[in-house]
Amino acid sequence: MENIKSKKIYNILLYLIPGLFALASVVIVNPPPIFDDLYRFYYFYNKFQGMTIIEFWNFLKNLSDYIIQIYIYVFSKVGIPVNFLLGAITYSTVFIILKVSYLILDRTCKNMIIVPIFIASAISVSGLLSGVRNLHSIALLYGAIYLLVNHKYFKSGFIFLGSMLVHFSSIFYLPCLALLKLKLKKIHLLWLISFVGFILPVIYLPFQNETFTNFSSIPIIGKLQFYTFQKDYYFKLTLNNIKIILVSVYKFSWYLFTLAFLFFQWKNKKDDVWLKILFILSALMNFTFIYLTFFERVSFFVKILFVICLLQENMISFKIKKRIFIYFLILFFFQVFLYIEGLYDFI
């Protein structure tokens, strides 16, 4: 009876929490500052209003991803304010993350009431309210992986394609998913080797250019060149400002819990598909530490997966989980505070 009641409360929160995030996306960031990534939504909305369909088509041909731009174009032509689009995308992003998490945890997590709040606290405020596209893409990717794990290959491929067309970076997860075919020992070995990534900035950073202009005309290749040959903006910003260093260290402090958890699982040798995905994506984070922008984008997904794997682990007491949950809540409100204060470069 208690379990049924918990599920009912979860279902209420499943719709309520996305609504609160959607409301925040309209109220807090309307209108966004010109240096905020979200500003491009408003810029494109105004630009598309005067575009013909032919001009818009020519515009799309230069992009590596374009689904969101199509949405903006349609909304601009119909005359629906862009705020409603932002709210709808934010709502669907959070809803997908909570729904997929519920499907994964339904049979394994006893306390269903705390789950949606814990998962919501793992969602990046800046990724949701500022980047928009990247986290929406990750939510779709999350759904695609769930379908893949449950052998629904056609649906998984279709949603993965949608994720890639929302944000090009999803394509980089494809080779990571291919690694799931490796044995657990090899995945663990890859994870251990990936810690070399934390010393790469010392070795490779001096050889990168401050600016790189010789980009390929093929969008995806151009993006790869950007990440490979040009110094990461976030990294340069961090090196020059002690305040940003301190805020960034605190912002990513949750990752220490993840590494400790994975070290425990490495010793435990537990074989679980979501745990294997977490090991692989943690390795990707470690390898890409020199590109803090990409490192942060991967962290959006890793943070959610960590919560899922933590909640599924029966060998870790509820007391420890509760403490981590409280810490995540503190970090979440810290991000909200920074966002409201306008410190967009810190979150």
Q: Which of 119, 95, 108, 39 is nearest to 300 (CA)?
A: 119
- CA gyration radius, the chain: 20
By residue count, the chain amounts to: 347
pTM: 0.87
3-state DSSP assignment of residue 209: strand
Give the model's confidence band at 346: pLDDT under 50 very low, under 70 low, under 90 confident, else very high.
very low
* CB atoms inside a 10 Å sphere around CB 130: 22
How many C-beta atoms surround the C-beta of residue 87 within 10 A?
21
Least confident of 110-119, 157-166, 313-322: 110-119
The predicted pLDDT at position 16 comes to 93
Q: At 55, list the tokens.
A: 């001009």
Residue 212, SS3 per DSSP: coil
Taking a C-beta distance cutoff of 8 angstroms, is the pair 253, 334 a contact? Answer: no
CA 297 to chain centre: 5
| pLDDT at position 345 | 44
Name the more confident of 221 and 286.
Answer: 286
pLDDT tens for residues 298-327?
999 999 999 999 998 888 888 899 899 999
Each residue's pLDDT tens digit, 57-82: 988 887 778 888 899 999 998 888 88
User: DSSP character for 314?
Assistant: T
Residue 257 to residue 155: CA distance in whole angstroms:
33
Q: Calculate the CA 261 to chain-centre distance.
A: 20
Helix (H, G, I), strand (E, B) or coil at 230: strand
Q: How far is CA 69 from the centre of its chain?
A: 20
DSSP 215: -
pLDDT value of residue 110: 56
Distance CA 306, CA 308 (A): 5
Rounded Cα distance between 291 and 64, Å, is 20
Cβ-proximal residues to 223 (8 Å cutoff; 6+ apart), any chain: 64, 168
pLDDT of 340 strictly over 80: no
Minimum mean pLDDT range among 78-82, 193-197, 241-245: 241-245
> Sorting pLDDT into bands at 50, 70 and 90, what band is 233?
low
Q: What is the distance, to the nearest Å, from the Cα of residue 116 to the centroid of all Cα atoms in its chain?
A: 17
Which three-class secondary structure state does DSSP give residue 183?
coil
Q: Are 17 and 116 in contact (CB under 8 A)?
A: yes
At residue 293, the pLDDT reads: 77
Is a pLDDT exceeding 50 seen at residue 344?
no
- pLDDT of residue 280 exceeding 80: yes
Predicted pLDDT of residue 108: 60
> Please, is 3 exposed, middle or buried when counting C-beta atoms within 10 Å of its C-beta (0-12, 13-18, 19+)?
exposed
d(CA 163, CA 161) in angstroms, rounded, equals 5
How far apart, in whole angstroms, are the C-alpha atoms of residue 256 and residue 296? 14
Q: Are 180 and 273 in contact (CB under 8 A)?
A: yes
- Nearest CA to 191 out of 269, 303, 254 is that of 269
| pLDDT for 143 beyond 60 | yes
